Amino acid sequence: MKQTYVKYLMVVALTGGFLFTSCRTARENTVQYEVTKVEGGMITIDSVWDTTPDVKATEILKPYKEKVDAMMYEIIGTSAMKMDKGGPESLLSNLVAGVLQQAAVQVLGKPADMGLVNMGGLRNILPEGDITVGDIFEILPFENSLCVLTMKGTDLRHLFEAIASLHGEGVSGVRLEITKDGKLLNAFIAGKPLKDDQLYTVATIDYLADGNGQMDAFLQAEKRVCPENATLRGLFLDYVRKQTAEGKVITSKLDGRITIK
């Protein structure tokens, strides 16, 4: 019994020593790596991937696809022109910013002094002709919601400087003059020069109101109200349906709200 116990202790000791040595050796021999380059790209997801569909998966998804298609292919209006995004201003960004500005009525009882949407939040074009629900989902795929902020003129000037540095974003209700290298020259609201000691209201999306997209000036707002169930996509859908009910087509224009001097 004693010999067996001694042998057991020897085995444990030898095993422990071996493991300790192995771990130490492994640590000593571990090669240190670091990332020196990252590359990526976009893969277009389209009908090319449907050349050899999975029959079983297609059958499972069929009833759900039919319901989604019925909703997404619903025609809700007509666009008078193709609208795209781009700086310093564009047809699509001007339109969406205007929708935000008007949507502030539910918070203020009147439109905000200014509407603002970032170009990066607009993910597709609005085609000329029929507008479907799916078109709006492709343009506005995120769950961004309306926020109405009250800001001092000094803080709003900082916001305009950020917009100038980005060479333009989607704005409504204001006119900005900027330089080619992204500096703010002049700012006007409702046709009048911006006053540093005056309070202004801005209708935007929660993503920007949180200071993202270089819009950290919003963090200095005097007041912020973000009503529930007021997604930008929902507001835009409501706008298109309302215009259609009134017999109007969806249109936009470039009016020099951001100009490069």
pLDDT at residue 27, rounded to an integer: 52
10 Å CB burial of residue 197 (0-12, 13-18, 19+) is: exposed
Give me the amino acid identity at 33: Y
Residue 193 domain-assigned (yes or no)? yes
Give me the amino acid identity at 216: D
Residue 21 domain-assigned (yes or no)? no
pLDDT at residue 29, rounded to an integer: 60
What phi, psi does 185 have (nearest 5°)? Answer: -100, -55
pLDDT at residue 52, rounded to an integer: 86
Residue 133 domain-assigned (yes or no)? yes
For residue 91, give the CATH number of its domain: 3.90.780.10
pLDDT at residue 222, rounded to an integer: 97
Residue 37 domain-assigned (yes or no)? no
Q: What tokens appear for 72 in the block?
A: 């997404």
Contact yes or no for 139/122 (Cβ under 8 A): yes
What phi, psi does 66 have (nearest 5°)? Answer: -65, -40
pLDDT at residue 134, rounded to an integer: 97
Number of H helices, E strands in the chain: 8, 11
Give the pLDDT means over successive 10-residue stretches in the chain (261 positions).
Answer: 41 44 53 88 83 89 92 97 96 98 96 97 97 97 97 98 98 98 97 97 98 97 96 97 98 97 92
Distance separating alpha carbons of residues 205 and 227, to the nearest angstrom: 11
Residue 242 domain-assigned (yes or no)? yes
Q: Sheet containing 170-172: which strands, arranged edge to edge?
A: 170-172, 114-117, 199-205, 146-152, 223-225
Q: What tokens appear for 131 in the block?
A: 């507008």
Distance separating alpha carbons of residues 77 and 83, to the nearest angstrom: 14
Q: Which domain holds residue 240?
A: 55-260
Total domain count, the chain: 1
Residue 30 domain-assigned (yes or no)? no
Residue 10 domain-assigned (yes or no)? no
Residue 214 domain-assigned (yes or no)? yes
